[in-house]
């Protein structure tokens, strides 16, 4: 593989041949650390290496343990979230039905020439369940 390095200003570019083994290693490092290959090459050429502070293996082990615990909690709470979603949808349906019944009630009161009542609190509650 041919690598071409161009300066930000001026002329003169550098062409370097990189064998497939080195390119594969660069791609693996790029994927592992989430850094573009170009940035890895730039770090290697400029010497911007940072030495890890502390025990890297211990930190990686701790991260794996935390990930496992996170997945355990996810498994535990997924059914609860599903039930909560179902209840939320049921509440929306009931709020729609209640809104329709209130409208029908006010129409009947107008037909009977009875003063319609304004249930502001009930309207707020219906609005709340329709939004959520």
pLDDT digits (tens, 9 = 90+) for 25-59: 888 988 988 888 888 877 777 777 677 777 888 88
Is 94 contained in some domain?
yes
Number of domains in the chain: 2
26 and 80 share a domain?
A: no
List all residues 6 or more positions away from 126 whose beta carbon is below 8 Å from its beta carbon.
95, 98, 99, 102
Region 118-126 average pLDDT: 89
Tell me how many degrees the CA angle 62-64-67 measures, rounded to the nearest 5: 110
Is 80 exceeded by the pLDDT of residue 129? yes
What is the domain extent for residue 35?
2-46
pLDDT tens for 58-112 read 888 999 999 999 999 999 999 999 999 999 999 999 999 999 999 999 999 999 9
């Amino acid at each position: 593989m041919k690598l071409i390095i161009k300066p930000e200003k001026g002329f003169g570019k550098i062409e370097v041949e990189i064998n497939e083994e080195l390119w594969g290693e660069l791609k693996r490092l790029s994927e592992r650390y989430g850094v573009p290959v170009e940035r890895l090459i730039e770090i290697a050429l400029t010497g911007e290496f940072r030495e890890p502070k502390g025990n890297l293996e211990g930190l990686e082990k701790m991260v794996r343990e935390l990930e496992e615990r996170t997945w355990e909690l996810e498994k535990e709470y997924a059914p609860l979230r599903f039930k909560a979603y179902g209840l939320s949808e049921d509440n929306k349906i009931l709020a729609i039905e209640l809104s329709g019944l209130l409208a029908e009630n006010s129409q009947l009161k107008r037909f009977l020439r009875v003063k319609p009542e304004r249930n502001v609190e009930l309207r707020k509650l219906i609005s709340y369940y329709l939004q959520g």
